[in-house]
């Protein structure tokens, strides 16, 4: 027999695999159920619910920007003007620019990997494309990230267009300091800035009136070795002068001359107007001489600009000096030059000289505007020369013009000032006949004159005429009494006029309020309260009336009636005035009603939008008494006095109230002693407030004791004990 092959070694018996519990299934791991042996099951992957489309490379030509713009898909949604403007701009952009902006929008205008992924779909981003995007993008952080990302592309170099667009973007976002650093960035990236880049920065700062930034950019321009043109030098000097930096503008002019540039007429006029505004007349005349020698004589427009600049500063002597220089140069003034000088002289109180210039203008046969007549009439009336003003009116009519209401009002006021009320009334009738629109300024001088001369019959006749002509008589009377009572010396005259008018039915609540407030200002509380009594009899008071009455009652010492008036305002669902709150709180503190005063302070701060500063510090002091004691109260008082708020009765009452609830007598005395040492309180006042504090402390203690007896039901026993003691 052939030899048999050796038997293989016996294999190990399979050991059962024990697993207790369930294993989480996966694609490559079977599911094992617990037990003695395993039951292996293969997990097959579930087919996707939606079939995955095969990958296709991005094709920009097939990209439709309209599909990704939600504001185009929802036309019914209201759009802001800014969004409509950006939409209009985006419609004019190239498709690639719109794709970039859409990538920004889809990622919530925040730079991140998602934006970079979208941008990498483009083969290349050109500098012109960068400039186009930066011109419409309003997010400066996103624009900056995009600008620097584009610069990191292989073989990419920014052009002047992209740098300029970046500068405009930063300035549009108020990041002008960052925009000023662009020249250094251009230098570092191998693109030295030219004059155009500095001109953009200068123009931006000039339009925003940032003169010092203009000078900063100019210095940087010099540091880079770039010489401005004449036009840019003029822009720099003009911006510096407009922002009040004349000396810096003159230093720039010295650099201008050092560079060998030739001045233009604009250059001289910029400096001349700046010197005129600064009142440096001798230097201005020196520049004027240089202009004559080196260039040409100033024309009428240049001289008019000089006169206007000097008139704006009120330098009339310099105006006349420039006027003489204009005549010496043989320049004939035009209408605008005459109007500028006449207006300046009349407004400056030199009407006679203005009238001479007016006659010179008329002698040359220049067409005179009605406005010049009005200016001269007002100036003559203000100077008390009503006759010359009337002559100008006659000249105006003879010239074919028709006087306007402004001229008539000036003449009526002039006639009333010289006590020719009959003439003024005739002018008023002329206004009515010509059909001009009347206003309160027309009748106020007449009403004032009749009141001063105590001609109440004529006063009432004029009121009837006003009713006939459609005036709102009660409203105009309110304006009249406000004008009359505006001066304390005329308050009693206003009261006398009102006494005659109210009998004839010419009275209203605003008039009562005006007179009550005027009487309060001159200390006539009794008369003011008598008017208040009349209003109460007529059932006409409003919240303003009661607010004034509160102050009158407090000043008169009748705190009870003041509280009644306050309650009437509350019943009307209105709020007292701040002055009424302050006066009533002070009156309550003076009467020892400290708790009521503190409640009133809280009510005021809760009802009034901007309460008085002393009330705000009152609550702060109450809180300081509760949390910090005397030291914190003293700190609050120091802060209060540094803010310019002087302590008064309400503040002292707040200290007493707070210390009674949360402090001690020693702490309260420490605060009042500190005020006395700083001479805020006198020694007598300190003693008075110390006594008030002790009395208030006793009252609070008694109230607390009585509340405890009521709580434990011992009030009846206390009364019985008291009656027994009285009987014995």
Q: What is the pLDDT of residues 602-617, one digit of tens each?
A: 999 998 888 889 999 9
Sequence-ordered list of residues with C-beta below 8 angstroms from that of 698, at least 6 positions apart, any chain? none
What DSSP state is assigned to residue 35?
B
- For the stretch 169-211, pLDDT in tens is 888 888 889 888 989 988 898 889 989 999 999 999 999 989 9
CA atoms of 298 and 39, how far apart (whole Å): 110
Instruction: For residue 22, name the pLDDT band (cuts at 50, 70, 90).
Output: low
Note the pLDDT of residue 527: 92
CA atoms of 578 and 559, how far apart (whole Å): 17
Give the H or E element holding residue 392: helix 386-398
CA distances from 671 to 576, 662, 681 (A): 32, 14, 11
> pLDDT higher for 710 or 439?
439
| C-alpha neighbours within 13 Å on the C-beta side of residue 601 | 28
Please tell me whether residue 19 adopts helix, strand or coil conformation. Answer: strand
Please tell me whether residue 2 adopts helix, strand or coil conformation. Answer: coil
Residue carrying the six token digits 């094709």: 59
CA geometry: angle at 598 spanning 595 and 601, to 5°? 155
pLDDT of 280 strictly over 50: yes
pLDDT of 358 strictly over 50: yes
pLDDT of 506 strictly over 60: yes
Note the pLDDT of residue 212: 92
- Where do runs of H (alpha helix) occur along 152-229? 160-172, 176-179, 182-188, 195-207, 211-223
Q: Which of 167, 103, 157 is nearest to 126 (CA)?
A: 157
103-107 contacts at long range (C-beta below 8 A, 24 or more positions apart): 104/137, 104/139, 104/142, 104/146, 105/68, 106/68
Note the pLDDT of residue 18: 45
- The per-residue DSSP string of 473-507 comes to HHHHHHHHHHHHTTSGGGHHHHHHHHHHHHHTT--
Note the pLDDT of residue 237: 93
Residue carrying the six token digits 């989480």: 24
End-to-end CA distance of the chain: 152
CA atoms of 264 and 597, how far apart (whole Å): 73
CA distances from 659 to 539, 621, 623, 637, 681 (A): 44, 10, 10, 15, 18
> pLDDT higher for 61 or 154?
154
**Mean pLDDT calculated for residue range 443-457:** 90
**Mean pLDDT calculated for residue range 366-377:** 86
Min mean pLDDT across 16-30, 350-364, 449-463, 524-538 is at 16-30
pLDDT of 59 strictly over 60: no
Length of the chain: 728
- For the stretch 700-718, pLDDT in tens is 676 666 666 666 566 666 5
Contact of 578 with 546, CB cutoff 8 Å: no
Helix, strand, coil percentages, rounded to 5, for the chain? 70, 0, 30
Note the pLDDT of residue 545: 93
pLDDT of 352 strictly over 80: yes
CA atoms of 678 and 698, how far apart (whole Å): 29
Both tokens assigned to 138: 């309003």
**Mean pLDDT calculated for residue range 542-554:** 93
CA atoms of 670 and 691, how far apart (whole Å): 14
pLDDT of 442 strictly over 50: yes
Instruction: For residue 252, name the pLDDT band (cuts at 50, 70, 90).
Output: very high
Note the pLDDT of residue 57: 53
- For the stretch 617-627, pLDDT in tens is 999 998 888 88
Sequence-ordered list of residues with C-beta below 8 angstroms from that of 51, at least 6 positions apart, any chain? none
What DSSP state is assigned to residue 153?
S
Note the pLDDT of residue 24: 59
Note the pLDDT of residue 7: 53
Residue carrying the six token digits 């976002």: 173
Note the pLDDT of residue 504: 86
Instruction: For residue 240, name the pLDDT band (cuts at 50, 70, 90).
Output: very high
Note the pLDDT of residue 667: 87
CA atoms of 573 and 592, how far apart (whole Å): 28
CA atoms of 270 and 246, how far apart (whole Å): 10
Contact of 448 with 483, CB cutoff 8 Å: yes
Both tokens assigned to 675: 């005020």
Q: Which of 408, 409, 487, 411 is nearest to 451 (CA)?
A: 487
pLDDT of 307 strictly over 60: yes
Exposed / middle / buried, residue 452 (Cβ in 10 Å: 0-12, 13-18, 19+): middle
Min mean pLDDT across 62-66, 163-167, 573-577 is at 62-66
Contact of 647 with 637, CB cutoff 8 Å: yes
CA atoms of 246 and 272, how far apart (whole Å): 11
- Where do runs of H (alpha helix) occur along 8-112? 70-73, 81-91, 95-106
Instruction: For residue 251, name the pLDDT band (cuts at 50, 70, 90).
Output: very high
CA atoms of 532 and 552, how far apart (whole Å): 10
Min mean pLDDT across 22-26, 91-95, 107-111, 258-262 is at 22-26
Contact of 250 with 271, CB cutoff 8 Å: yes
Contact of 358 with 392, CB cutoff 8 Å: no
Both tokens assigned to 68: 């990704």
Note the pLDDT of residue 569: 92
Q: Which of 89, 701, 8 is nearest to 709 (CA)?
A: 701
**Mean pLDDT calculated for residue range 311-338:** 87
Q: Other CB atoms closer than 10 Å to residue 304's CB: what's the count?
A: 22
Q: Which of 337, 279, 330, 274 is nearest to 303 (CA)?
A: 337
Give the H or E element holding residue 465: helix 456-468
**Mean pLDDT calculated for residue range 455-478:** 88
Contact of 233 with 261, CB cutoff 8 Å: yes
Instruction: For residue 121, name the pLDDT band (cuts at 50, 70, 90).
Output: confident
What DSSP state is assigned to residue 7?
P
Q: What is the mean pLDDT of the chain?
A: 82
Instruction: For residue 518, name the pLDDT band (cuts at 50, 70, 90).
Output: very high
Exposed / middle / buried, residue 465 (Cβ in 10 Å: 0-12, 13-18, 19+): middle
Contact of 149 with 119, CB cutoff 8 Å: yes
Note the pLDDT of residue 215: 93
Q: Other CB atoms closer than 10 Å to residue 502's CB: what's the count?
A: 15
Please tell me whether residue 416 adopts helix, strand or coil conformation. Answer: helix
pLDDT of 601 strictly over 50: yes
CA atoms of 407 and 405, how far apart (whole Å): 5
What DSSP state is assigned to residue 577?
-
């Amino acid at each position: 027999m052939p030899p048999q092959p050796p038997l293989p070694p016996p294999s190990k018996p399979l050991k059962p695999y024990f697993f207790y519990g369930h294993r989480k299934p996966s694609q490559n791991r079977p599911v094992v159920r617990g037990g003695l042996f395993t039951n292996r099951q293969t997990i097959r992957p579930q087919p996707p619910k939606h079939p995955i489309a095969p990958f296709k490379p991005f094709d920009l030509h097939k990209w439709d920007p309209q599909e990704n713009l939600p504001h185009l898909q929802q036309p019914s949604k209201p759009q802001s003007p800014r969004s409509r403007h950006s939409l209009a701009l985006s419609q004019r952009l190239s498709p690639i620019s719109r794709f970039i902006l859409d990538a920004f929008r889809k990622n919530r205008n925040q730079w991140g990997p998602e934006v970079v992924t979208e941008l990498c779909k483009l083969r290349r981003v050109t500098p012109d494309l960068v400039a186009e995007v930066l011109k419409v993008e309003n997010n400066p952080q996103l624009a900056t990230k995009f600008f620097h990302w584009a610069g990191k592309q292989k073989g990419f170099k920014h052009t002047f267009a992209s740098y300029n667009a970046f500068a405009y973007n930063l300035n549009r976002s108020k990041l002008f300091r960052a925009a000023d650093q662009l020249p250094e960035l251009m230098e570092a990236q191998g693109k030295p800035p030219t004059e155009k880049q500095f001109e953009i920065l200068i123009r931006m700062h000039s339009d925003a009136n940032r003169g010092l930034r203009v000078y900063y950019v100019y210095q940087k321009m010099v540091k880079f070795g770039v010489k401005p043109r004449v036009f840019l030098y003029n822009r720099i000097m003009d911006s510096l002068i407009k922002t009040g930096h004349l000396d810096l503008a003159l230093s720039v002019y010295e650099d201008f001359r050092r560079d060998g540039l030739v001045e233009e007429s604009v250059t001289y006029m910029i400096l001349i107007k700046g010197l005129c505004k600064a009142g440096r007349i001798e230097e201005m005349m020196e520049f004027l001489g240089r202009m004559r020698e080196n260039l040409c004589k100033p024309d009428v427009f240049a001289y008019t600009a000089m006169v206007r600049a000097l008139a704006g500063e009120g330098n009339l002597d310099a105006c006349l000096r420039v006027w003489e220089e204009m005549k010496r140069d043989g320049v004939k003034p035009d209408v605008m030059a005459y109007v500028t000088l006449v207006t300046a002289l009349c407004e400056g109180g030199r009407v006679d000289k203005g009238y001479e210039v007016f006659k010179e203008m008329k002698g040359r046969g220049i067409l005179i505007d009605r406005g010049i007549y009005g200016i001269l009439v007002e100036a003559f009336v203000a100077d008390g020369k009503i006759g010359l003003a009337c002559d100008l009116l006659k000249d105006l009519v003879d010239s074919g013009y028709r006087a306007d209401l402004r001229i008539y009002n000036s003449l009526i006021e002039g006639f009333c000032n010289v006590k020719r009320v009959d003439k003024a009334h005739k002018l008023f009738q002329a206004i009515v006949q010509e059909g001009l629109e009347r206003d309160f300024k027309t009748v106020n001088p007449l009403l004032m004159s009749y009141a001063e001369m105590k001609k109440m019959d004529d006063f009432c006749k004029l009121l009837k005429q006003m009713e006939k002509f459609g005036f709102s008589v009660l409203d105009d009377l309110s304006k009249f009494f406000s004008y009359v009572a505006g001066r304390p010396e005329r308050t009693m005259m206003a009261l006398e006029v009102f006494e005659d008018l109210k009998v004839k039915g010419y009275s209203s609540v605003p008039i009562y309020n005006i007179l009550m407030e005027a009487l309060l200002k001159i200390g006539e509380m009794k008369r003011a309260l008598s008017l208040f009594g009349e209003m109460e009899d007529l059932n006409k008071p409003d919240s303003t009336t009661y607010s004034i009455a509160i102050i009158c009652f407090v000043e008169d010492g009748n705190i009870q009636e003041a509280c009644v008036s306050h309650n009437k305002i509350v019943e009307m669902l209105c709020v007292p005035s701040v002055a009424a709150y302050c006066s009533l709180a002070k009156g309550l503190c003076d009467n020892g009603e400290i708790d009521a005063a503190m409640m009133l302070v809280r009510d005021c701060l809760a009802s009034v939008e901007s309460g008085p500063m002393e009330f705000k510090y009152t609550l702060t002091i109450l809180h300081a008494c509760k949390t910090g004691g005397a030291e914190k109260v003293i700190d609050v008082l120091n802060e209060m006095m540094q803010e310019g708020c002087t302590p008064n009765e309400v503040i002292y009452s707040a200290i007493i109230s707070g210390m009674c609830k949360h402090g001690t007598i020693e702490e309260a005395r420490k605060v009042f002693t500190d005020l006395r040492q700083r001479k805020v309180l006198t020694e007598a006042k300190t003693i008075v407030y110390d006594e008030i504090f002790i009395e208030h402390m006793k009252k609070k203690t008694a109230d607390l004791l009585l509340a405890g007896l009521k709580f434990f039901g011992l009030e009846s026993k206390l009364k019985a004990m008291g009656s027994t003691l009285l009987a014995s």
